[in-house]
Amino acid sequence: MAIQEPTSAPASAPAPAPVERASVTENGRYNFRAAAVVGFIVGVVDIFIAARFLGKLFGASSQSAFVNFIYQVSAPMVAPFTGIFGNSGSSTNTFETVSLVAIVVYAVIGWGLVVLIRIATAPRGTKPASLWPFRGEFDAVLSRFSTVVLNWGRAPATSGSSRRSGRRR
């Protein structure tokens, strides 16, 4: 008769460590979705007006269904600005400054709405970092541009090895 040895219980897997859930939203953030919706709407409006501007500039035929659609959709968006400037150009090719003014005005209105959303939805006790979201990048570009403008016409800076100096090598 064989003697059975007592079997040990199977080794159990180590207990899983507790998992911390990462928060998807960060504290101190503004309502990104509302700002994105405003940006999307302003972008669509500006695209329709830019298409109108290019169509008028290049003399696109309004007999085309697509061109007629663009003109019909963008006409109410441009109407408040009609009469600010006179149209210049021939009857087929028109430089429509009204469209350019409308693009700029709608972009500024959209920017203002995004800033208002950021201010209104920021948590209490915090303030938005900047009213203009790309201020740091703008400052860097402006600094580089001013350096280039101030040094315009001067001899380019060269390293000491390529300059002729009074010393012998």
136 has pLDDT over 70: no
6 has pLDDT over 90: no
The arithmetic mean of pLDDT across residues 139-154, rounded, is 68
- Separation between Cα atoms, residue 113 and residue 35, nearest integer Å: 8
pLDDT of residue 147: 72
Residue boundaries of the structural domains of the chain: 32-141
Which ranges in 80-134 belong to alpha helices (H)? Answer: 97-121
Tell me the pTM.
0.57
* Most trustworthy range by pLDDT among 71-85, 123-137, 141-155: 71-85
Residue 3, CA distances (Å) to 6, 7, 10, 13, 155 in order:
9, 12, 20, 30, 100
22 has pLDDT over 50: no
